[in-house]
Amino acid sequence: MNIVPAPSDTRPHGARLLRERAAQDGLAPLYGREAEQAALVHLVTRLAAGQAGVTVLHGVPGSGRSKLLRRGVAFARAVGVQVLTALGSAPSAHTPYAFVAQLRPRASASAAARTAPYGEGSVADRCRALLAAAHRPTLLALDDVHWADAESVQVIGALLRRLGSAPLGVLMTVTGTRGEFPDRCAALVDQAAFCQDGGGPLLELGPLGAAEVRSLFGAAGLPEPAGPRDPWWEHAVRISRGNPWLLRRTLDELRREPGEMTPGQLRKAFAEGIETARSELAAQTVARLDEAPLTLLRGLMVCRGLVPVDRVAALVGLGAPDVPGALRALRAYGLIDHGDPPRPALTERAASVLAGLSGATRARLRADAARWAQRCDAAEEDVAALLLSTEPLGDPWVASVLRRAARLRLVQGRPAEAAALLERALREPLAGAERAEVLLEAAEAYAVTAPEAAQVRIAELMSGPPPGARLRAATTDLVLARGEPVFESTGPVLSYDDDNARPAFPAFLDGGERTQDLLRWAKGAAPDDVAAADRAAGARCRGAEGPAHRGGPAGPRRARHGGRRTVADLAHGPLPAPADTCPNAADPGFDPTALAAEAWRQAMVGHDAAAVREMGLRVLGAPLDGPLYPRFAAVSVLSLADAHSAARDALDATLAEAGKRASPTVVARGLMLRARLNLRAGDPDTAARDLAACRALAPLHAWHPSRLTALRAAQIRVLIARERFADADRLASVELPPCAEECSAWTELLYSRAQLMLCRGRPGQALAEAEECGRRLTARNWRNPALLAWRSLAALAHLGCGDEERAAELFAEELRLAERWGTDSALAWTELRRGLASPAPQAARLTERALRRLGHSPAARRFAQALVTRETAGLHPPPRADTASAVRRFGDPARAT
């Protein structure tokens, strides 16, 4: 670009005075065009002094060429220069002399000029007439010369050759960038560039910068969506490409929006408005293209820049001689980039340019382009994007490319795009085993975006030919990780009737598939054979079992109050006897699923932590190539049995395996479990990071209600542990799906709410939540206080309400159950709550013993002290001196978190 600098002061008019007089025309201010305006001032001041000159303004559509030309016209009129204007248009581009016929002087011009033959004559005659009109300094303002007819272009070229014979200045605008111009005006631009011994400047109008975009926001009267140094302004430049037309159009639309928007809403509306304006500008530009450039653009849009230009031209039927001119035109209009092969600059929303292609032609073009790109070894992501819009090709490489691209999208956190690619792969003719794999991958992608679609794909997979063991294991993990795990639920919480005390298993899949059917399908055996094997494994593991554990009619009595049991009805049932024998992991018939389920059941009823710990370790000794959900259950029971180190190590290994299987749903399940383990270990900060990573794996609307409820409960407990009670209150008030109340995780949410209400000094509300939690747990026969110590929590609430007798009963009952389970952590929480809540003489002894039971980890002791101190803060006056000294001996609760 050759720009002649403007002098600091010109006679008789200084540049500053010239701008002030031109501003009186009422034109909008131009941002980021200071150098260009200086060049125009230089042009018109020289012209006013009788020196001819030429300046060419060029840029992509929307860059502000016409606005700058009007500014040059205002400069010229401000210094008394005569101005003749002409505007090119697509309809008149083929009418001879239609463009230069607009260059007529005003009525005040000389008689010789008025009688000149403007409407007829040859190129030389029209050139002489225009030179005669320049009897005084005259500026020819030629807008959109690229739409001038061929004869008019010849006239303008003849004027440029005779430029020194009259005080004539030429200011013209053409579309073009980086030296590319449409054929009809390319020679004219070259001629102008070398006028006056190389002194004719070509001014390319580039994109605006962040400062100019911010100024446009201020000029539009809109609030600034970001601070002056915020990187969002650079982002606004990128998405708008600094195009003034796009920016002004979008800001004008935003000014019409009713009401005030927050900065976040304004940024979002700006991005959406830019996309809409870009589509509109592209449609306007494409509508003016000649046939050859439009045909080539359609082919390039379909092929996405993956196929050489000559091949694209052959596919769309464009002759080889027309290709160079079509490329120059498309580059000049900014519709393609300067790559080889070029890529279209239009977005997907501007794909209306393909409307001229028939469906058959488009399908054939896409198929040929996909095959060509594959043969040319193009990037797989690009080939996969091209395959999305093709019909089934039947080539063996298609499904592989789509699956690899989908796996990459899933790792990048773009599950919706991964699902679209896998759906396209399913349209190919696939063999049975490969189709089953693609169905599972599609279900995995849908699990975090559209759970209903995931169920459809899983049902299709299970209804087809039986897949291999690895695929069955992965499918089972996906289903159980999405919904209510088989180890944690036996069905709807309180769906008991008088005839059958065992509730039904919940349905997960369409067509009535239930969890038991899923487990039988996962084992790859006939349902009857699997049922018999389950009964045998259960007999070996359970040994002598009480009727309450079996859940039969001989279990705890059922209340007649609306078919629901009360806590009093179910609080004192018999516990099962210890397990006698369990299968060894080395046995050929060893089934980690059955063993994990039995370990979970015994952990829930709170019987013999040592035996449960042994079963959990045996489950974790199984190979990692099977289902992962038994390992999650084993980790849970090991944590309840105080085997925290083994549980954490096994969970890390299981999470690594889930990551290798590219299963975000299973990973989310493991992260939530790890957050619980960290919270039990007294590390709420790490637990908060685990929950944040879990949330980042999928949008909340795609979560299964049971998993969403468990996440909400864990988040509330972490916020309580970090003493962020206001945030916990807000989170607890967020409504959950109605079906969430039927899942087992609802008990965790009730417990979290009760704990929150107690810490906030609301014992009445805490009591209601804790008793509902206990009623639901007891209805499931889940009595282990290591899971949720609801009895001691309810006892604290009873003390706050003045019922010391009922509080003592609940403390005694939980202590008995904790001793039956036999872990220090379960006993510690009961004794710590009882000790800090009671001013009795034994309070100091209970508190000291509880703190000793929490082990050698200062973090776990401080965590428990601080939390229970907060729970009991409003129940009674400050503790006695002996109790306070016992607490201080193990650390100050006030500095726990």
600-622 residue pLDDT tens: 889 998 888 999 999 999 999 88
pLDDT score for 402: 93
Q: What is the DSSP secondary structure assignment for residue 131, as one 8-state letter?
A: H
pLDDT at 86: 94
Q: Of the spans 328-337, 458-467, 512-521, which averages the highest pLDDT?
A: 328-337
d(CA 863, CA 717): 12
pLDDT of residue 562: 36
pLDDT at res. 561: 34
The rounded distance, in Å, linking the Cα atoms of 622 and 595 is: 11
pLDDT category, 246, cuts 50, 70, 90? Answer: very high
203 by DSSP, 3-state: which?
A: strand
The tens digit of pLDDT for each residue in 401-451 reads: 999 999 888 878 788 889 999 999 999 998 888 888 899 888 888 887 777
Dist. CA 271–CA 224, nearest whole Å: 14
C-alpha closest to that of 882 among 834, 846, 830: 846
Of the chain, the percentage scoring pLDDT greater than 90 comes to: 24
Average pLDDT of the chain is: 78
Confidence (pLDDT) at 823: 87
The label of the residue with tokens 């605008």 reads 173
Which of the residue ranges 203-207, 462-466, 578-582, 709-713 would you say has the lowest mean pLDDT?
578-582
Closest by CA to 534, choosing from 594, 609, 450, 584, is 594
The yes-or-no verdict on residue 593 having pLDDT over 70 is yes
- Cα–Cα distance for residue pair 518/512, rounded to 1 Å: 11
Q: What is the mean pLDDT of residues 311-318?
A: 85
**Is residue 877's pLDDT more than 70?**
no
Most confident of 390-404, 470-484, 658-672: 390-404
In this predicted structure, what is the pLDDT of residue 221? Answer: 85
Predicted confidence band of residue 175 (pLDDT cuts 50, 70, 90): very high
Centre a 10 Å sphere on the Cβ of residue 468 and count the other Cβ atoms it contains: 12
Start-to-end C-alpha separation, the chain: 64
Residue 84's closest CA among 123, 142, 27? 142
Identify which has the larger pLDDT, 27 or 439. Answer: 439
Question: What SS3 state is found at 237?
Answer: helix
- Using DSSP's 3-state secondary structure scheme, residue 202 falls into strand
- Which pLDDT value is given to residue 107? 52
Local confidence band at 362 (pLDDT 50, 70, 90 cut-offs): confident
For CA atoms 340, 346, 347, 353, give the dihedral sign: negative
d(C-alpha 711, C-alpha 714), whole Å: 5
785-823 pLDDT, tens per residue? 988 999 988 998 898 888 888 988 998 999 899 989 988
Q: Which residue has the higher pLDDT, 7 or 653?
A: 653
Indicate whether 263 pLDDT > 80: yes
The amino acid at 243: N
